[in-house]
Chain A
Amino acid sequence: MTTNILIAGVGGQGLVLATRIVGGVAFRAGLQVKTCDVIGLAQRGGMVWGSVRFGHAVHSPLIPEGQGDFLLAMEELEGLRWVSLLKAGAVVVLSRETILPNRALLEKDDYPKDVPAQLATHGLKTVCVEANSIARQLGNKRLANTVLLGALSNYLPFAPDTWLEVLRESVPSATIELNEAAFGLGRTPSL
């Protein structure tokens, strides 16, 4: 069985690092891992995505249609975009973050309303995370992704210590304690 995690966001949100951390945790846990992420033109505020696949025999780094088990969405509109890649009943960890795309800034498109409800109509289990406000409370908005990883970690078969180990190796050393705190707050189910 391969577990498929899709990560979606906006260029500049730190998606490549998040993909590397999730892949790194599965790898540390001794599983076969393949990941992919887009970089390049998409860096300038375009849509970006990453995939992490792990199990005992993983071939493709990309998630086939309808096979996604989890979606980690760093932004609400990007949470909607990839529904066709997900299984019915897949879990969406959704950051309550809105970044208006260009056509919405120009008032040519309307930003989607009530994304959690729209996801629910597709039979997806949505976990909303106030990642940005938690990150700001910790004093650094760049911690939002670590909060989201904490929330995602509740659904994956890896020990918190493994996550923290990989996290510590992946973030700037001056921010290790803050990242540990952000991960813990994201993992707390009461949120």
Chain B
Amino acid sequence: MSNIALLTGNQAIARGFFEAGGVVAASYPGSPTVEIMESLKEYKDMHAHWAMNEKVALEIAIGGSFAGARSLASMKHVGVNIAADPFMTFTQIRTHGGFVLVVGDDPGLSSSQNEQDSRFFAKFAHCALLEPSTPQEAKDYVGLGLSISEEYGMPVIIRLTSTLCHSRGAVLLGERTPPSIAGFTPDQARYCMLPPHANAQQHFMQERIAKLALATDSLALNTYEDTDRRDVLLVTSGLPYQFLAELDLGYSVFKLGLCYPLPIAKLKEIAAEYARVIVIEELMPFIEEQLRAAGIDASGKQFFPFTGALTTDGIRVGLVRAGILQQGTTGAGTPPPAIPRTPMLCSGCPHRPVFHILQKAKALVIGDIGCYSLGILEPFEVLKTNLSMGASLGIMQGMAMAHRTADKARAFVAVIGDGTFFHSGLSGFANITESKENITIIVLDNRTTAMTGGQPTPTTGDLGQATHAISITEVLKSFGIQDISVADQFDYSNTKNVIMGAMKRDGLSVVVVTRPCALNFDVREPHFYVDRDICISCRACIGVNCPPISMKVYEGQNKKNSYIDPNMCVGCSVCSQVCPVKAIKRSTAPEEARP
């Protein structure tokens, strides 16, 4: 019992890398894979590194692999887009130290800006793709993936989905295989990807995939569960296999652990015995299309959704649609109406006053990726675009150009956080320094990657473990940007003057706001309360939209006044500064006396 633990899919990946003698791991935080690196950091004897972005993370792992060390890079699906440039060329090189790229897809977009199906990257890059269905498999597939990588000379993608990343199951723990690191041996034909070396590798990539497709039987990654029935063969992979198992239907199932390359010859042979072949997969018809291209009469996507996370209920509905199941009972009745609960900025969040100021200024604001993406939501609704990491700068530049050409020049504002600044904002900044448009960029330097749980950024500095920090202001000065102001958002009127002033000036202006994340750094000052004798129920404080502030009818009153929940208030003071009649006051009661 003691060598079995209940681990999440993410933790199991980390454990697998540890046991397989992994040496170099790097990542950039993004849901759903954040916990892989956080778990890796708990192991000794390996390098587990948060990089500035996914491309740098991948390159660090590539360097480890070049030096003969087993290496891993982990990232969310959209991170692969950032890392795709080195990955697509790295894949041409015959791998030295085993290399796995762990990707977390997010069907249903629970915390992402798109829903791309990363499995296509495997075909695109001529490399193997493994898809575990349990935390145990997640652990096992890391070791297997590293071995495949070394034997066949290719990077291996392990594809997870958000549900598997966050779900726990029993995992058998093993010992760590001691790493062996051969070191880097210069070999330009192997490592310098230019013609003619890169031309030769096109053949190599084809050959290794064909070789692996023939060897799948010996790898124990795919399982054929042959029942006596010959009416339907179900082909599936990953978590959908577990959802299907839950239904306990008694059909034959071909479970793929290796989704690229497929064991096409074997599948053809088996499929010929069945009247129908139905593929159950999330998102795009990746498996189904490969089967059909090989001449297998498979169907699937016509019965199952192309978007969203597939569940046991979704599989049941799809199989009813396919005429395989009768309409079963689902649900215990209509749910009662439950009003929505959307995410919102935390109590004392330093982004709040910035959005309040921009909303009142009716500014046209170009958004970026981070907690501050919540500025899209009501009541602020100030961000008018949201695309990808660091995109605000280029988008704003192009938009301003188009507006000026149309004689519609106006002030533009972009917001970008410190994490995004270093992830992919630097090049956008370097590009915009010469701009003559009326552009204001607000850098929200809260000194952490807050949305993903508070990983450090280069500005975390002494608020975290780091002994030095990079100053965003100094970086921008070195770019030659002259108009840089610094403001503390909790001084509301000064911040407002600084932002409004910057928006009025032509050319590029930058405002760096400096309050640290209240949640991550546990900022807590004495709370505020509403003096009902002064409150005029104007709702100015409601407009700053802080979780503790609501309107309520106090006992013995017949109208609503605003109310601040003392247990939730962290004392940032912003509401008190927007109150026109000074009805919001800081409590002088000692902290222990909070109700």
Interface string of B298-337 (1 = CB under 8 A from A): 0000000000000111001000000000000111111111
CB atoms of B312 and A44 under 8 A apart: no
Q: Within the complex, which residue of A34, A66, A111 is in contact with B339, where a contact is CB–CB below 8 Å? A: A111
Name the CB-closest residue of A to B240. Answer: A60
Q: Which of under 10, 10 to 19, 20 to 34, or 35 or more describes the interface residues of A?
A: 35 or more
**In the complex, which of the residues B32, B341, B378 contacts A40, with contact meaning CB atoms closer than 8 Å?**
B32
Contact with B along A13-50 (1 / 0, CB 8 A): 00000001001100100101111111111111111000
Does A59 lie within 8 Å of B453, measured CB to CB?
no
CB atoms of B168 and A23 under 8 A apart: yes
> For residue B170, which residues in chain A have a CB less than 8 angstroms away from its CB?
27, 32-33
| B511: min CB distance to chain A, Å | 24
How many chain B residues sit at the interface, stated as a range, is 35 or more
Query: A36 contacts which of B167, B312, B330, B549 (Cβ < 8 Å)?
Result: B167
Nearest chain A residue, comparing its CB with the CB of B345: A44
Contact mask for chain B residues 529-553; partner A; CB cutoff 8 A; 1 contact, 0 none? 0000000000000100101011100
Given the known interface contacts A60-B242, A100-B550, the answer about A112 and B339 at a Cβ–Cβ threshold of 8 Å is: yes
B343 at the interface (CB under 8 A from A): yes
Would you call B542 and A46 a contact (CB within 8 A)?
A: no
A59 CB → nearest B CB, Å: 4
Choose among A43, A64, A121 the residue that contacts B311 (Cβ–Cβ < 8 A).
Answer: A64
Q: Please indicate the chain B residues that have their CB under 8 angstroms from the CB of A122 in the complex.
A: 332-333, 336
A156 within 8 A of partner (CB): no
User: Which chain A residues numbered 70 to 85 have a C-beta less than 8 Å away from chain B?
Assistant: 77-78, 80-85
Bound Cα distance from A73 to B312, whole angstroms? 23
Chain B residues near A37 (CB, 8 Å)?
Answer: 166
B111 beta carbon closer than 8 Å to chain A = yes
Q: Which residue of B lies closest to A82 (CB)?
A: B335
With A44-B371, A118-B336 as contacts: A62 and B312 at CB distance below 8 Å: yes
**B246 in contact with A59 (CB, 8 Å):** yes
Give the complex CA separation of A61 and B242 in angstroms: 8
Decide: A80 near B338, CB < 8 A? Known: A36-B167, A42-B110, A60-B246. yes
Residue numbers in B under 8 Å from A61 (CB-CB)? 163, 167-169, 239, 242
- Is the CB of A165 closer than 8 A to any CB of chain B? no
CB under 8 Å from chain A, chain B span 194-252: 239, 242-243, 245-246
Question: Which residues of the other chain, B, contact A64 by a CB distance below 8 angstroms?
Answer: 246, 311-313, 316, 330
Question: Given the complex, which residues of A lie within 8 Å of B344, measured CB to CB?
Answer: 44-46, 102
* B-binding residues in A (CB < 8 A): 10-12, 20, 23-24, 27, 30, 32-47, 59-62, 64-66, 77-78, 80-88, 90, 99-112, 118, 121-122, 136, 141
A-B contact pairs, 17 of them (CB 8 A): A40-B451, A43-B451, A46-B342, A46-B344, A59-B243, A59-B246, A64-B330, A65-B331, A80-B338, A84-B331, A88-B333, A100-B547, A102-B341, A102-B378, A103-B340, A122-B332, A136-B595
B residues sitting closer than 8 Å to A (CB atoms) are: 1, 6, 31-32, 110-111, 162-163, 166-170, 239, 242-243, 245-246, 311-313, 316, 329-346, 371, 374, 377-379, 451-453, 542, 545, 547, 549-551, 567, 595
Extra contacts besides A20-B168, A77-B339 (11): CB < 8 Å? A36-B166, A36-B168, A41-B110, A46-B344, A59-B243, A64-B316, A88-B332, A102-B545, A103-B340, A106-B378, A109-B340
